[in-house]
Amino acid sequence: MSRIGKKPVMIPEGVTATLDGQKIVAKGPKGELSFVVNDDVLVKLEDGKFSVDPKNNTKVARSQWGMSRTMISNTLSGVKDGFSKTLEINGVGYRAAMQGNKLQLLLGFSHEVLYDVPEGVDIKVTKPTEIVVSGFDKQKVGQVAAEIRKYRPPEPYKGKGVKYADEYVFRKEGKKK
């Protein structure tokens, strides 16, 4: 039994959610999102709550059960509050800046890296070494943050690179004489 799947999802105040077959549409102050639930899962909307149950007892249906409940919860909280990820840049001369709708990154390459900001995601450079990626779609926010980090992941010897603010970089000891 899925512990997550058993819990009903409450619709927060300020959000309107509708269920049309297997499609859930949520509208809130941040925007509008929709999610199509897998056919192996039953979704019911009763008394301002979404309840999710598997259609049968197969392994696929049970695995989709908890995931569907989490996706519904993320959709509802995303249109109400939104999501954000903070990235930190470590290294001498490494920095970031916004140029219109592009993120300019100087990461020790012989050239600057320009990253086009996708629609539905907002990027703010609070300090030259700190980037805040925010939006109402959790998947898009995480994907954009991962793509920015991918340009120069943190290395284990000096810790140089782009890392998540809450990420711990395991440091290695250098060569010995």
* pTM higher than 0.75: yes
Class level of CATH domain 83-164:
alpha beta
Both structure tokens of 94 = 């490494």
Contact 141, 84 (CB under 8 A): yes
Share of the chain residues as helix, strand and coil, in percent rounded to the nearest 5: 20, 40, 40
Fold of 3-80: Outer Surface Protein A; domain 3 (3.90.930)
Q: Where in the chain is the domain with CATH 3.90.930.12?
A: 3-80, 83-164
pLDDT digits (tens, 9 = 90+) for 158-167: 989 999 999 9
pLDDT digits (tens, 9 = 90+) for 79-134: 999 999 999 999 999 999 999 999 999 999 999 999 999 998 999 999 999 999 99
Contact 147, 164 (CB under 8 A): no
